[in-house]
């Protein structure tokens, strides 16, 4: 009996997710075919069929089969529809023969066609949550792990870590878009922006770019969670006090270069404003953490297709890493962001964001009042703890104590200061390394205000 062996050497793995474009994907597979001498190889051809595993239905057949050498073939399948999971079958058959005769080769299982999101940043991106959680694996949500293999996505997404925000992200997105979601894990803990910025050290950027190019070519978007190391620059010998102040410019360089290198001018970056840390006691830490958060807030305003969500209401599992429950909240917020901005679905995801600070005329008691006007308020602002020390004010003289703050209307908060301040007064909100936990929230979305730092007031009579 004649026999042949066929297997794939490049192009697809078990559990792989292939990036769809306009509802379809193409597969290009390098195949090794070894046959007995009894075969007339000149009359044979390697082909591929794509079968929906759930029903056994053939959804696509190879469109091109080219013999590159004695043993190597290149086989292409065009217009594989978004969805799955699929079984990819190799077979060897006679050229131009109506007979159904064929020799089966390797079969690749559980392949999906959908969208691939790249996880980048540091430890809270790779996932370091500790504790019990209900966040089980789900078919159609797969991860390309650091061992260069596709797998069903389970915690930990990076082998040496813990719970991550991005499995819950993928579940929420998949539920709405109804096709598989792939995650490319490139995040590395305790890394600062220099390592990700191609205009500086850029070593991790180059690794991320190589992974994207090899695995997917074009990604759906970047899930970026980073900045703790830049805020805590004093922990690292290779960082200095300028890291927070230059964060926005350097992050913009990363975004621009990544889009250029991938040929995707509209590649979205979904970001998380830094949560708190209880590692306190270092000089200038409040300024550092406040500045990085402000740069992240401004990035979403100033860089097209960059978005930000809040995390300051999410509990930690240690002194700096988000816990399992907090990770699920962050993942769900990012999913709503993606569904609204990338997939065009009617989801509310934006946190209340300060758009203007107004310095009112001094009161008869010799005090200044500042009004803070917020955008993206879906319901009403609510002071969950009016006694919380959320806001600070300072001018050239120094800090002015906030005697009281209160919600004046659906999107306005007023601050009553203990003295008359100069027109150079700047306002900070939730800017400390470890700020107040009970922040003002939007009653409709339940989301806290984005932190801000050093916002200059406009004088209003």
122-341 shares its CATH topology with 353-459? no
- 370 in Cβ contact with 359 (< 8 Å): yes
Packing angle of the helix pair 247-262, 203-215 (nearest 10 deg): 30
pLDDT given for residue 73 in this prediction: 87
The CATH topology of domain 122-341 is: Rossmann fold (3.40.50)
pLDDT tens by residue, 138-193: 999 999 999 999 999 999 998 878 889 999 999 999 999 999 999 999 999 999 99
Say how far apart CA 143 and CA 207 lie, in whole Å: 17
Question: What ranges do the domains of the chain cover?
Answer: 4-112, 122-341, 353-459
- What is the value of pTM for the model shown? 0.94
pLDDT tens by residue, 215-239: 988 899 999 999 999 999 999 989 9
pLDDT tens by residue, 370-425: 999 999 999 999 998 999 999 999 999 999 999 999 999 999 999 999 999 999 99
Mean pLDDT, to the nearest integer, of 127-146?
Answer: 90
pLDDT tens by residue, 41-87: 667 888 899 999 999 999 999 988 888 888 898 999 999 999 989 99
pLDDT given for residue 40 in this prediction: 61
C-alpha distances out from residue 4 to 12, 50, 70, 269, 447, Å: 21, 20, 14, 47, 61
Say how far apart CA 118 and CA 52 lie, in whole Å: 26
Which residues, 6 or more positions from 257, have their beta carbon under 8 angstroms from its beta carbon? Answer: 198, 199, 205
The CATH topology of domain 353-459 is: Immunoglobulin-like (2.60.40)
Q: What is the DSSP string of 53-76?
A: TTTTEEEEE-SEEEE-SSSEEEEE
H helix intervals, 99-146: 123-126
pLDDT tens by residue, 294-346: 999 999 999 999 999 999 999 999 999 999 999 999 999 999 999 999 999 99
Tell me how crowded residue 249 is: count the other CB atoms within 10 A of its CB: 12
Mapped onto helix, strand or coil, the DSSP state of residue 455 is strand
CATH superfamily of 4-112: Macroglobulin (MG2) domain (2.60.40.1930)
Q: Which long-range contacts (CB under 8 A, 24 or more apart) does 202-205 make?
A: 204/120, 205/254, 205/257, 205/258
């Amino acid at each position: 009996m004649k026999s042949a062996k066929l297997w794939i050497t490049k192009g697809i793995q078990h559990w792989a997710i292939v990036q769809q474009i306009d509802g379809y994907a193409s597969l290009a597979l390098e195949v090794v075919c070894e046959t007995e001498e009894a075969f007339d190889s000149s009359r044979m051809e390697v082909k591929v069929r794509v079968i929906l595993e759930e029903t056994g239905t053939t959804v696509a057949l190879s469109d091109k089969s080219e013999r590159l050498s004695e043993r190597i073939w290149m086989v292409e399948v065009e217009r594989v529809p978004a969805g799955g999971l699929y079984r990819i079958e190799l077979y060897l058959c006679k050229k131009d023969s109506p007979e159904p005769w064929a020799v089966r080769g390797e079969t690749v299982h559980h392949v999906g066609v959908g969208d691939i999101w790249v996880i980048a940043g540091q430890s809270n991106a790779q996932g370091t949550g500790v504790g019990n959680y209900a966040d089980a694996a789900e078919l159609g949500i797969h991860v390309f792990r650091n061992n260069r293999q596709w797998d069903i996505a389970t915690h930990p997404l990076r082998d040496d870590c813990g719970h991550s925000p991005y499995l819950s992200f993928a579940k929420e997105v998949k539920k709405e878009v109804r096709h598989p979601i792939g995650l490319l894990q490139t995040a590395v803990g305790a890394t600062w922006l220099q390592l990700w910025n191609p205009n500086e050290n850029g070593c991790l950027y180059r690794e991320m770019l190589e992974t994207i190019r090899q695995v997917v070519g074009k990604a759906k978007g970047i899930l970026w969670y980073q900045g703790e190391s830049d805020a805590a620059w004093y922990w690292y010998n290779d960082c200095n006090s300028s890291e927070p102040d230059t964060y926005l410019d350097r992050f913009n360089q990363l975004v621009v270069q990544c889009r250029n290198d991938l040929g995707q001018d509209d590649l979205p970056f979904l970001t998380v404003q830094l949560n708190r840390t209880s590692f306190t006691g270092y000089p200038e830490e409040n300024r550092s953490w406040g500045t990085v958060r402000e740069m992240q807030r401004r990035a979403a305003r100033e860089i097209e297709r960059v978005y930000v969500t809040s995390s300051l209401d999410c509990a930690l599992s240690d002194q700096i890493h988000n816990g399992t429950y907090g990770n699920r909240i962050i993942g769900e917020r990012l999913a709503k962001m993606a569904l609204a901005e990338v997939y065009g679905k009617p989801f509310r995801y934006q946190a209340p964001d300060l758009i203007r600070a107004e310095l009112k005329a001094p009161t008869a008691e010799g005090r200044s009042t500042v009004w803070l006007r917020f955008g993206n308020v879906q319901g009403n602002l609510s002071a969950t703890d009016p006694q919380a020390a959320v806001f600070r004010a300072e001018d050239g003289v120094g800090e002015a104590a906030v005697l009281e703050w209160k919600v004046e209307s659906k999107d306005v908060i007023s601050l009553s200061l203990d003295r008359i301040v100069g027109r150079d007064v700047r306002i900070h909100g939730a800017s400390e390394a470890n700020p107040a936990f009970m922040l003002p929230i939007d009653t409709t979305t339940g989301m806290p205000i984005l932190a801000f730092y050093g916002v200059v007031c406009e004088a209003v009579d």
